[in-house]
Structure 1
Amino acid sequence: MATSQCCANPPTLDPVYGKGMVVDNFGGLKTYISGALDFSKPAILLISDIFGFDAPNLRALADKLAESGYYVVVPDFFYGDPMPRNDFSQFETWIQKHGPAKGFEDAKLVIQALKRKGVSAIGAAGFCWGAKVVVELAKSDDIKAAVLLHPSFVTVDDIKEVKIPISVLGAEIDMRTPPEVTKQFEEILSTRPEVPSYVKIFAGVQHGWTVRYEVTDKAAVEKAEEAHKDMLNWFNKYVK
């Protein structure tokens, strides 16, 4: 089932993990922040999968981006109520309370908060659930570039409306967005040369591989880091 895959390999959440800090209100949301803010620095908004902003691998990625020169914000779009880790039977009930449409409205407030702070340019990356939020942002010029990682809920019609540089990083083993759907995204983007795009399907990995890996699994870490590098390269090229 697609739902069971979406909920597979849940992380052990750690609200104190990371080199950054958690603030109680950034654009109305509790937010993990990594990197120092100055007016010339671009920012990256990371939007989590269904397990939320306390996931250690996600925060480690935020720290990595910060070390590369970005001001990184990872908001809690679920208001302290991420998907329960060990009971995916609750998914349908949970998603009714935490749909991507609400995430999109909240994300716009976070972007406004970044702009009020004088941030020069903003990129956004979304994982699973978060990819749907990011693709909605990508339909406007509120951000400079977007990256979707093992997306959920993203449709062909969404991709047709994208207006900014977008990268889609998909998994070979993914029931939420199978490779044939990712290839459809690529075909649509190829007909729109005015929108820079990069689409890649990672062989031998499953949905969630970029943030839900065991740090002791060398092969899994390498696959995740390959995607992280692709994401960073995309932001370095377009978030200026």
Structure 2
Amino acid sequence: MATSQCCANPPTLDPVYGKGMVVDNFGGLKTYISGALDFPKPAVLLVSDVFDGSKAWIQNVQKYPLFYLVCTSPLYFTWLVVSLIYVVVPDFLYGDPMPPNDFSQFPTWIQKHGPAKGFEDAKLVIQALKRKGVSAIGAVGFCWGAKVVVELAKSDDIKAAVLLHPSFVTVDDIKEVKVPVSILGAEIDLTTPPEVTKQFEEILSTKPEVPSYVKIFAGVQHGWTVRYEVTDKASVEKAEEAHKDLLNWLNKYVK
């Protein structure tokens, strides 16, 4: 899969409702924040994959793919305008992302950065958001981050969840989900193959009290929503389709 170049033309840190900023301590974590500080309003927590914690992000937030999603995607821009949303992107990996081209390090790396640790940190971030007086919280997780978010979705700490090309998420996790959940999977994914995603869908279909939306994107690989070539029209269209789906879900349930 090609390396993402989401920010070939880096934007300025100037979201519609307040300049984006990096703060050293939000719930104990260095965090990128976007949105005006007038509450109550809804908030969204974004949880990255294993590659983006990250020293590169902290040093130059404009290169961070999720920053690109928050601040330059026309779809997200539109939703910011409509909902006056408050977005937080914490560095759950403490400036120590997984090296992207050397998976031999993964067994050692994951011992330091397991999703269980991310979940414990996420609860502190949720508490910090609630102290600010937010009206509702949604959570979006990419790959590793999806496991963190599905753990949050087992309680009423958040109002809705979106899992994109999830890793580590199990059938038992899905059985415990209590809030509206959208799962966006890839057709080409060894981490969570389509047949597993379909199992998730089958389980959710037995839980009418939990609104759900499950979609498998044809012809894309794991990570396609944040790791794509901006010069590849088809890749951009697939990523933007997923972005639109996640925004529609949050706009429906996080109010």
Q: Same fold (TM over 0.5)?
A: yes
Name the structure 1 match of 2:60. none
Aligned residues of 2:6 and 2:226 also touching (Cα < 8 A): no
Deviates more, 1:134-143 or 1:69-78: 69-78
Change (3 A) 1:230 1:4: closer
CA drift of 1:128 comes to 0.2
SS at match of 2:3: helix
How big is the shift at 1:172?
Answer: 0.3
> Shift of residue 40 of structure 1?
2.5
**Partner of 2:186 in structure 1?**
171
Q: Distance in 2 between matches of 1:180 and 1:7?
A: 33
Deviation (angstroms), 1:69 = 2.6
Deviations 1:55-79 (A, max 9, x none): xxxxxxxxxx577531000000011
For the 8 Å contact 1:48–1:130, the answer to whether it is kept is: yes
Instruction: Identify if the C-alpha distance between structure 1 residues 88 and 19 changes in structure 2 by more than 3 Å, giving closer, same or farther.
Output: farther
Q: Counterparts of 1:130 and 1:11 in 2: how far apart (Å)?
A: 24
Query: CA distance change for structure 1 residues 6 and 172 in 2, over 3 Å: closer, same or farther?
Result: farther
**Secondary structure at the residue paired with 1:202?**
strand
Give the CA deviation at 1:88: 1.5
- How far apart, in 2, do the equivalents of 1:41 and 1:174 lie? 36
Alignment of 1:145 with 2:160, yes or no, is yes
Change (3 A) 1:41 1:144: same
**3-state DSSP class of the match of 1:16?**
coil
Contact 2:5 2:227 in 1 (8 A): no
1:38: Cα distance to partner? 1.7
Q: 1:103 to 1:15 in 2, by over 3 A?
A: farther
**4+ residue segments displaced more than 3 Å:** 1-19, 65-68
Q: TM-score, normalised by structure 2?
A: 0.81
The CA distance in 2 between the partners of 1:15 and 1:39, in whole Å, is 17
SS of 2:167's equivalent in the other structure is: coil
Percent of pairs identical after alignment? 91
Offset of 1:216 from its aligned partner? Answer: 1.8
Q: Does 1:33 align with 2:23?
A: no
| Residue 37 of structure 1, CA deviation | 2.5
**Aligned partners of 2:172 and 2:119: how far apart in 1?**
17
C-alpha distance in structure 2 between counterparts of 1:190 and 1:15, whole Å: 38
Relative to structure 1, the CA distance from residue 152 to residue 11 in structure 2 (aligned partners, 3 Å threshold; closer, same or farther) is: farther
Which range is displaced more, 205-214 or 31-40? 31-40
Q: Structure 2: how far apart are the matches of 1:11 and 1:102?
A: 32
Aligned counterparts of 1:10 and 1:205: Cα–Cα separation in 2: 25
* Closer/same/farther in 2, CA of residues 187 and 199 from structure 1, 3 Å limit: same
CA distance in 2 between partners of 1:119 and 1:102 (Å): 24
RMSD, matched Cα: 4.4
Superposed CA offset, 1:6-44 (max 9, x none): 999999999999962111110000001111122121000
**CA 1:195–1:170 in structure 2 vs 1: closer, same or farther (change >3 Å)?**
same
Unaligned runs of 5+ residues in structure 2 are: 52-79
Name the CA shift for 1:236/1:177 in 2 (closer, same or farther; >3 Å).
same
Structure ranking higher on relative contact order (CA contacts 8 Å, 6+ apart): 2
Q: Return the alpha-carbon distance in structure 2 between the equivalents of residues 121 and 68 of structure 1.
A: 12
Q: What is the rounded CA distance, in whole Å, between the counterparts of 2:126 and 2:153 in structure 1?
A: 12
Counterpart Cα distance in 2 of 1:128 and 1:98 = 13
Answer whether contact 1:9 1:212 (CA < 8 A) is retained: no
Query: Do the aligned residues in 1 keep the contact of 2:4 with 2:228 (CA within 8 Å)?
Result: no
CA gap of 1:71–1:8, structure 2 versus 1, over 3 A, is closer
| Residue in 1 that maps onto 2:196 | 181
* Aligned length, in residue pairs: 227
Give the match's secondary structure for 2:4.
helix
**Is residue 17–residue 35 contact of structure 2 (8 Å, CA) maintained in 1?**
no
- 1:195-237 deviation line (CA, Å, top 9, x unaligned): 0000000000000000111222221111001000000000011
